[in-house]
Amino acid sequence: MIEIEGLTKIYENGVEAVRGIDLTVEPGEVFGLLGPNGAGKSTTIGMLTTTVIPTSGTARVAGHDVVREPLAARARSSVVFQESVVDASLTGRRNLELHARLWGAAGGRVDESAAMLGVADLLDRAVTTYSGGQRRRLEIARALVSNPDVLFLDEPTVGLDPRIRHELLDVIDGLQSDGRMTVLLTTHYLDEAERLCDRIAIMHLGAIVALGTPEELRAELGAEIVEIRVERDAERALARLREHGVAGDEAYVVGSTLTMPHPHGGTTATIAAVDALELGALEVGARRPNLDDVYLRLTGGRLADAA
């Protein structure tokens, strides 16, 4: 449903926002694009939704090339941008109607989409009177009125309180329950990605640095990780652990936390070795790796290396 080959964007100011990414998203898949600020996620969505012109490479949405057939590609997809695009001076209903008319969709979809997102009761109020969460729901409803095959969501839950965020996650999950729509979303919330996404790509500095199901990505760190928090200079603690053969090349530091995936000789022996070195650790523990660990190893660790 989405086919990307060697897709690259270099902005006029010389920033290489996306550096030759390859990606295929299957019909009905919910795909998550994760990465730190500036990784190139919004630029990628911009190219897939024809608002950003690629520098090189190709992308097809529902079989339509985004550069050669932009209207056809846009007609099969919908996007909720990171920034709000609804006209706040109009009512919710007017916003949905305008969008439906623009994309030649039947008016009936307006009420249906609004009901699906739980904003039916608000439709006749000006959007200026909506709360942040209500506006976000309206934006998703707006994206759905054209009955898209592919839905792009750029940080759909940013700035929402935890309760509204979880409600919205249920809604997004529900949208996809019939398996008909393909969804590509970006997020900084890894729990969200884990809950919603069939597969995930982690982007860093314009490149895809990891790709797989959440389980596959977690498995790269082994069954357990050992984590140490030190008062200061985690890099120095890591150097000592490496000198003594306790930590391997895979160990990494983010801030004051030192993480050892696949601990040599097992978790218990590693913790004992850490204690014996008297690193002045504030905390030493072992736990199952989660998606945060995968993300931090690939982005936080490398960010620190680059600094």
| CA-wise closest residue to 217 among 298, 110, 132, 100 | 298
Please name the residue ranges forming H helices in 29-91.
Answer: 41-48, 70-75
| Residue range at the interface with ligand ATP (CB under 6 A); choices 12-20, 69-77, 106-114, 279-287 | 12-20
In the three-class reduction of DSSP (H, G, I as helix; E, B as strand; rest coil), residue 254 is classed as strand
The nearest distance, CB 35 to ligand ATP, in angstroms, is 5
In whole angstroms, the minimum distance from the beta carbon of 34 to ligand ATP comes to 9
Exactly one of 2, 39, 183, 185 binds ligand ATP (CB under 6 A); which one? 39
Greatest CA separation found in the chain? 71
Total Cβ atoms within 10 A of residue 282: 11
Of the listed pieces 23-31, 40-48, 108-116, 118-126, which binds ligand ATP according to CB under 6 A? Answer: 40-48
* 3 state SS of 116: helix
Regarding 43 and contact with ligand ATP (CB under 6 A), the answer is: yes
Check if the beta carbon of residue 3 is closer than 8 Å to that of residue 9: no
Judged by CB under 6 A, the residue of 1, 17, 196, 226 near ligand ATP is 17
Is 11 among the residues that bind ligand ATP (CB under 6 A)? yes
Q: Binding of ligand ATP at residue 38 (CB under 6 A)?
A: yes
Q: Residue 53 interacts with ligand ATP (CB under 6 A)? A: no
Buried b (16+ CB within 10 A) or exposed e, 268-279: eebbebbeeeeb
Contacts with Mg ion by CB under 5 A lie at 41-42, 82
Contacts with ligand ATP by CB under 6 A lie at 11, 13, 15, 17, 35, 37-43, 82
